[in-house]
Amino acid sequence: MKSFNNLLLQVTDQIAVLTVNRVHRLNALNRETVLELTEAFRFLEQHTDVKGVILTGAGEKAFVAGADISEFKSLDSAGARGLAKQGHSLMDRIYNFPKPVIAAVNGFALGGGLELALACHIRIASTNAQFGLPEVSLGIIPGYGGTQRLTQLVGRGKALEMIMTADRIDANEAHTWGLVNHVVDPAAIIDFSGQLLHKIFGRSPNAVSQSIEAVNAGILSPQEGFEKEIELFGQSFASKEAKEGIAAFIEKRKPNF
C-alpha cells in the first residue's frame, strides 16, 4: 500500500479510507497535500480491490479547515492562478472519479476543505461539523471550484450569501440547504459512510460509474447531459453486468455483480 507524508490510507473490505493527516494545522491543504491527494486518487482508481472511497480528516476538530494560508503570502497573480489550477486538477479528479467517493466531514470544512467536500459524490456530516467559505475575509475568492459547485448544490442565492458574508453554517443547516446528505454522531460517521458504500457495492459497478458520468455531464451542460444519458444507457446494455442484473430480476434472485 502506498504511503504519504500528509495522508493515511487504509483499505478494508473494498473501502479505502483516505485521511488528511495534518492535525497540527487542522488538516489544512498545503501544496504537498494537494499533490498527494491527487496521487492517492490516481492510485485508487487503478486499485481493483477498492470499490469506493471515504475521505475524512484526522483528529476530532477538522475535516479540512481550509488551504494553508501561510503559503499565500508570497503569491502574485500568476502564482495564484497556478495554485488554483493545481487545486482544480484535484477537485476534478475526485468529482469525476469512477467509483463512489463519500466525504465524511468530521468537523471544520472551511475554504478549500469545503471545496474538497463539494467535489465528492456524497457528503456525510458529523453533528459538530461546520461549513464555510471565508475567502472574502482575506480579500480573495474561493479558487478550487467553490463558487461553482456550491451554487450547483444549494442555488445561487444561498451560495452567494455564504460566499459574500463568509459566515459558517452548522451541520443541520447544511442538511436543510441540501449541502450534505446525512448528519450523524461523530463516532458513527465512518461506519455510516461504510454502510452506505456497501449498499452501493450491491449494485452494478459499471452502472454506478456510468451514472456518475451522466450526472456530471448534465451539470456542465443540460442538453449534453440528456445525450450522454442516452449514449451511456445504450452502452450499459452491452455489459455482462446488465445481462446478469436483468436475468436475476426475471429469475427472482440476487444479482452476482
Catalytic residues: 115, 135
> Between 31-46 and 77-95, two packed helices, what is the crossing angle to 10 degrees?
30
Other beta carbons within 10 angstroms of residue 26's beta carbon come to 21
CA 237 to chain centre: 28
Task: Mention every residue, 6+ apart, whose C-beta is less than 8 A from residue 84.
Answer: 143, 144
Q: Give the amino acid at 108.
A: F
- Pairing state between β 169-170 and 130-132: antiparallel
Distance CA 124, CA 189 (A): 7
First to last CA, the chain: 26
Q: Which residue reads 479547515 in cell numbers?
A: 65
State how far the Cα of 240 lies from the Cα of 253, in Å rounded to an integer.
16
113 contacts: CB under 8 Å, gap ≥ 6:
27, 28, 29, 57, 62, 63, 64, 65, 66
